Chain A
C-alpha cells in the first residue's frame, strides 16, 4: 500500500514537470518561429507578466526578436510584489549566459548586486521602464513617470475649471513608479489652480480603487475630476462614480486596451500611455546593438501618448494589432 502512495507522489511530481516542460517547449517554438540561423539571445526579466501593461512590453520584446532574428526569452514573477523572486529569475537568466540582459526592476536597488556580478563578464545590461542606480548599465529606456503624471494632470485640468475639486488615487505605498506619477499630476493640477481634496492609495487594484473612491465621494460628493496612477484603478474609480450617477472626469495611466475601450464608449476621460510596447521593442533592439558592439545612447526616451476621445480608436487598433 505504502509504496503505491509514495509512487503516486513521485509520479505526480514527474508528470506535472513533464506537463509544464511540454508547455514551455511549445512556447519556445512559437516565439522562436521566423528566426534565422546562429541567433543572438536576449533575456528579458520584467516585474511580472500578469498584467496588461507588462504583456505589451513582452509583445514588443518578442516582436523585436522576430523582426531582428534574435532569440528572446521573456520572464517575470507572478506579481510585482514578488521582488526576491525577480532577483532569483534574473540570476537564473544570467547563469544561462545570454548575449544581453534587459531588466525592469520592481525595487531598483535589489537587482544591483546581481547586475554587478553579471557585468564582470562584460554582459550588456539594459534597463527599461524603471531605472536602477547601477553604473555598468548600457542604457535606460523609458519615460519619466513624473512626466506621465504631469501630462495626466494637465489633461485633467484642461477639462475642468479653476477651483474645481480633484482627487488622486495612488498605487501601493512605496511603489516608485506610481508615486512619481502622482507627484507629477499633483504639480500640474496645483499649477492649474485645482483643489486636491484627497490622495489615497488604491494599490493598483480595480476593486480597491473602487471602494477608495466610494469613501472619497462620501465626504466630497462634488469632486469634479480624478487622476489615477494606473488604468485598472481609473476603471475602478469610474465604476464608483457611475454608480452615483456623477459626471466626474477620470484620467488613468498606462493606456491599456480596457481603458481605451472605455474612453471610446464615453467612460474614462483619457489615459496617458507610456508605450510599454516601445520599451520592450527598443530594449531588444538596443540589446542587439550592444551585442554587436555598436554604440547605444545612454538614455532613450520611449515616448508618451496622450489618449482622449479624439485618438482612442486609433490607439485601440494599434493595441489590437500588437496583441495578436
Chain B
C-alpha cells in the first residue's frame, strides 16, 4: 500500500470519527450552548435553586420520554402516554384517597393501570393487527382520557398520603428525589437496551422488521413488551406528578405525548426506527426543560415558547434528515 492511500484512509477515518462524534453529541452540544447563552442572559439561571427547579420540572417529561423511546426505536409511536398518566393517577386517587386504602396499594394500582393500558396498546397492535401504532394508541388515548373523566365525574382529587407524594415532592440534600429517580430509571433503560437480548431485538425490529422476523425474533412479543413498558412509565410519571402538585386531575398530562416525542427526537432518535439512545433522550428532555425554564426567567410569553420549541424540533430533525441523506450517498 502506498503512503498516499494510507494517508487518505487515515483522513477518511478521522473524518468519520468526527462525524460520529457530532452525530453522537450534537444534542449535548446544543444543550451546552443553550446553558451558556441563558447564563449570560439571566443572572438567576445558573443558581443552585434554579438548576434544581429545572431538574424537577424535567422529570415528568423525562420519564414519559424514556418510555416513548422504545416505541420510536421500533419505528412506532405511543400517543396515549398523557392519557394513561391521567387514568393511572385518577385510579390511584380513588383507591388511596377516596377509598382510604393503603398508599402502597395505591402506588401498585397506579403502575399496574399504566402497564395495563400499555399492554392493551401492544395487544391491539399485534393481535388485532391494526395497521400502525398511531391508530391503536390514538384509540387508547381517547379511551383512557374518557374513562379518567367518567370515573371521577371530572373532579380533581387532593390530599394524597405522604408515601405517594414522596417521589415528586421530597429532596435528598438539595437534589429532588424525582430527578434521582430519573437517573436510576435511565441507567436501568441503558442496561436493558444495550445488554439484554430483548433490548437488542428492539433495535433490530426498528432497523428492519421483516429481517428481524426472519432471523427468528418474536416481533409481536417484543412489541407487546415495548408498549407495556411505555405505559408503565406513564404511570410512574403520574406518580411523580401527583407528588409535585399534591393532587390528581383528569385532564392531567394533556398533550404530554408531544413533549415526550419531541424529547426523543431532539435527542437524536430516528422516526424511522432503529436509531436512538437513552442518554440522547435525557438530553432531549433537558433541552426542552432548560428552554422552558430559561424563557420563563426571561419572561418570554408562552406563545413564543411554543414557537421556539417548534423551531428546535424542526432543526433537530432536519439534521437527522441530512444525516440520513448523507449516509445514503456514501
Contact = CB atoms under 8 A, between A and B. Distances in A.
- Verify that A and B bind, or say they do not: yes
Interface of A: 1-3, 5-6, 8-10, 12-14, 16-17, 20-21, 23-24, 27-28, 48-50, 73, 75-78, 81-85, 87-89, 91-93, 95-96, 107, 109-113, 133, 172-174
A91 B53 contact: yes
A16 B312 contact: yes
Given A78-B305, A174-B153, 18 more contacts: A9-B26, A9-B318, A13-B34, A16-B311, A20-B298, A20-B305, A24-B298, A75-B296, A81-B254, A81-B255, A91-B56, A91-B57, A95-B50, A109-B247, A113-B246, A173-B149, A174-B152, A174-B250
Interface in B140-157: 149, 152-156
A2 B22 contact: yes
Contact of B37 (A17, A50, A173): A17
A84 B252 CA distance: 8
- 6 A-B pairs with least C-beta separation: A174-B154, A109-B247, A173-B154, A110-B245, A92-B296, A109-B158
Given A92-B53, A173-B154, A28 B251 contact: no
B104 interface: no
A113 B30 contact: no
A6 B22 contact: yes
Contacts of B311: 12-13, 16
A49 B44 CA distance: 24
Given A6-B319, A20-B304, A14 B37 contact: yes
A23 B300 contact: yes
B156 A78 contact: no
Contacts of A23: 300, 304
A76 B302 CA distance: 7
A14 B32 CA distance: 11
14 contacts: A2-B19, A3-B18, A6-B29, A20-B298, A28-B299, A49-B301, A75-B296, A75-B299, A85-B302, A88-B296, A107-B247, A107-B249, A110-B249, A111-B245
B249 A174 contact: yes
A109 B299 contact: no
B169 A9 contact: no
A15 B16 CA distance: 29
A24 B306 CA distance: 14
Interface-centre pick from A2, A21, A28 (highest chain B CB count, 10 A): A2
Contacts of A78: 302-303, 305-306
A133 B155 CA distance: 16
Nearest to B301: A49
Interface in B215-241: 241
B33 interface: yes
The number of chain B residues touching the other chain, given as a range, is 35 or more
A83 B319 contact: no
Contact of A95 (B49, B295, B305): B49
A5 B319 contact: yes
A289 to B, nearest CB: 24
A285 to B, nearest CB: 21
Interface of B: 18-19, 22-23, 26, 29-30, 33-34, 37-38, 41, 44, 47, 49-50, 53, 56-57, 60, 149, 152-156, 158, 169, 241, 244-247, 249-252, 254-255, 292-308, 311-312, 315-316, 318-319, 322-323, 326
A45 to B, nearest CB: 10
B60 A84 contact: yes
A75 B301 CA distance: 7
B302 A109 contact: no
Contacts of A85: 292, 302
Contacts of A83: 245, 249, 251-252
Contacts of B305: 20, 78
B251 A2 contact: no
A220 B89 CA distance: 39
A20 B318 contact: no
Given A6-B26, A10-B29, A113 B245 contact: yes
A13 B35 CA distance: 12
Contacts of B319: 5-6, 8-9
A6 B251 CA distance: 38
A49 B50 contact: no
Nearest to B293: A92
B44 A109 contact: no
B245 A21 contact: no
A109 B244 CA distance: 11
A283 B80 CA distance: 39
Contacts of B308: 16-17, 20
B244 A87 contact: yes
Contacts of A77: 302
Contacts of A5: 318-319, 322-323
